[in-house]
A and B are shown apart, each in its own frame.
Chain A
Amino acid sequence: MKSLLLLLLAAASLHAADKIKVASLSTITTEIANKVGGGRVDVIGLVKPGVDPHAFEPKPSDLDQLEKARLVLATGKHMEGYLTKLRESANAKADLVQVGDKFPSLRMKAEDENRGMIEDPHWWHSVDNMERAAKIVRDELVTISPADKDYFTKNADAYLAELDGLKKWIRAKIAELPRDKRKLVTSHDAFQYFAKDHGFTIYGIEGVSTEDEPSNKRVSDIIDAIKTQRVKAVFFESIENPKVAKAITRESGAVIGGTLYADGLGEGDAATYDGMMRHNVTTIVDALK
């Protein structure tokens, strides 16, 4: 009996060792890797839910995880500004895939005028981009383990079907909101991809990064826009300091519409991509109706 138990334990540890180790630098890519990789991957999410990826700095223990990984997933489009430093520090042999770099970007003016036009890194707010990302991760995993091609393909197909259902739900929910009321004021400019898909105009209080501070002129322009465009609500983000947004609501007469998840997954009902998007869409539509 004892030898049978030892045999089972040995088999289990061998199977765990066989799993493809994936290190993920975003809660978004962590979900994709888990959904597509299923039981054949061991995913370590270095950026946890609720952590601001704009301000994230890897710790020495994160370097250990990167060195053990076979695949490192990042959202790309310059979101992970520390990547060069990370590659130099870690003795990593893993394939680094900056998922968002493999499809087109929306560009935007940086808050700091010296930076000119920059790529908007928040691509996951378009479900179409999530579908692209799932296919990219599937193909990377198949390249690493061609024997698991059918398994990864089946998982990816199931995830793509989930995303398709989510996309339909979003379209139907947003259709409840008149197109002339689709004006979104948020505490940082993270919803361009969402806006493009659904006909919203964005007034971001900060620039593309949460580390950007809004200028007085920008704040004043947003207050004027809220008044002239008759925008009903201003939204905060889950990991932002809402001080400026609160001041804008006081001066403009708009109400506080609720909290949105901009930079990745959160906790509770926003712990999954599906939950995060349903939370954001419901919050926006119900407040602006």
Chain B
Amino acid sequence: MAVPLRRLTSAPAPAVAAAVSSKDAAVPVHMELESSRAPFSFEISNLGKVLWKGDASEKLVSRDAPMVFPKEGVDLHVTVAWPGDSAREAVKLAVTPANDAASEKTLWGEKKVDDVLTFP
């Protein structure tokens, strides 16, 4: 297969670089975590980095966090644990990127849930 030299040596077009940096910019994202029972402990990660972690004494907790939110969506790794012996519990995560619609997903489990949720 012949390889034209100019295709190998030409620099990437500036327009592409600009589009990428804009695409990679973080936007404020509002997150709400609602559990069927309190207290509970939780951790939410995106791309291997912890975005939000804590112990909740109320059933509903919320927070705003900056996040890169491409049109293809984001995967959030969600871990929630309830102390003691618990029946089947549920936890709902609602995510609202700035200037965009909210979407929500629910996980069910006993004592602990540990799974990946895709938004939107």
CB A241 to nearest CB in B, in angstroms, measures: 14
Closest 9 CB pairs of A and B: A179-B72, A175-B75, A180-B70, A247-B1, A171-B116, A180-B72, A175-B116, A176-B48, A175-B77
Question: Contact between B8 and A178 (Cβ–Cβ < 8 Å)?
Answer: no
Query: Does A172 sit at the interface, judged by CB under 8 A?
Result: yes
Question: Contact between A219 and B70 (Cβ–Cβ < 8 Å)?
Answer: no
| CB-CB under 8 A for A250 and B3, given A171-B115, A172-B77, A178-B47 | yes
Query: Does A182 sit at the interface, judged by CB under 8 A?
Result: yes
Please name all residues of chain A whose beta carbon is closer than 8 Å to the beta carbon of B74 when the two chains form the complex.
178-179
Query: Does A87 sit at the interface, judged by CB under 8 A?
Result: no
Contact with A along B89-120 (1 / 0, CB 8 A): 00000000000000000000000001110100
| CB-CB under 8 A for A178 and B116, given A230-B20, A251-B7 | no
List 10 contacting pairs A-B, 8 Å CB cutoff, sorted by A. Answer: A176-B47, A178-B68, A178-B70, A179-B73, A179-B74, A180-B23, A199-B72, A230-B16, A250-B3, A250-B8
Please name all residues of chain B whose beta carbon is closer than 8 Å to the beta carbon of A171 when the two chains form the complex.
75, 115-116
One of A174, A182, A230, A251 near B72 (C-beta < 8 A): A182
CB B7 to nearest CB in A, in angstroms, measures: 7
CB A247 to nearest CB in B, in angstroms, measures: 4
Question: Contact between A179 and B1 (Cβ–Cβ < 8 Å)?
Answer: no
Question: Contact between B7 and A174 (Cβ–Cβ < 8 Å)?
Answer: no
Contact-size category for A = 10 to 19
One of B1, B45, B116 near A251 (C-beta < 8 A): B1
CB B19 to nearest CB in A, in angstroms, measures: 10
Residues B18-65 near A (CB distance < 8 A): 20, 23, 45-48
Interface residues of A, dominant DSSP: helix
Please name all residues of chain A whose beta carbon is closer than 8 Å to the beta carbon of B76 when the two chains form the complex.
175
User: In the complex, A73→B114 CA distance in Å?
Assistant: 35
Question: Contact between B20 and A172 (Cβ–Cβ < 8 Å)?
Answer: no
Q: Which residues of A contact B (CB under 8 A)?
A: 168, 171-172, 174-180, 182, 199, 219, 230, 244, 247, 250-251, 253
CB A98 to nearest CB in B, in angstroms, measures: 33
User: In the complex, A174→B75 CA distance in Å?
Assistant: 9
User: In the complex, A251→B3 CA distance in Å?
Assistant: 6
Please name all residues of chain B whose beta carbon is closer than 8 Å to the beta carbon of A177 when the two chains form the complex.
47
Most chain B CB within 10 A, of A171, A172, A175, A251, is at: A175
CB B113 to nearest CB in A, in angstroms, measures: 11
User: In the complex, A176→B48 CA distance in Å?
Assistant: 5
Name A220's closest neighbour in chain B (CB-CB).
B1
CB B74 to nearest CB in A, in angstroms, measures: 7
CB A137 to nearest CB in B, in angstroms, measures: 27
Question: Contact between B73 and A199 (Cβ–Cβ < 8 Å)?
Answer: yes
Name A175's closest neighbour in chain B (CB-CB).
B75
Please name all residues of chain A whose beta carbon is closer than 8 Å to the beta carbon of B68 when the two chains form the complex.
178
Please name all residues of chain A whose beta carbon is closer than 8 Å to the beta carbon of B77 when the two chains form the complex.
172, 175
User: In the complex, A247→B7 CA distance in Å?
Assistant: 14
Please name all residues of chain A whose beta carbon is closer than 8 Å to the beta carbon of B116 when the two chains form the complex.
171-172, 174-175
Question: Contact between B8 and A251 (Cβ–Cβ < 8 Å)?
Answer: yes
Question: Contact between A199 and B118 (Cβ–Cβ < 8 Å)?
Answer: yes
Please name all residues of chain B whose beta carbon is closer than 8 Å to the beta carbon of A175 when the two chains form the complex.
45-48, 75-77, 116
User: In the complex, A171→B78 CA distance in Å?
Assistant: 11
Please name all residues of chain B whose beta carbon is closer than 8 Å to the beta carbon of A244 when the two chains form the complex.
1
CB A200 to nearest CB in B, in angstroms, measures: 10
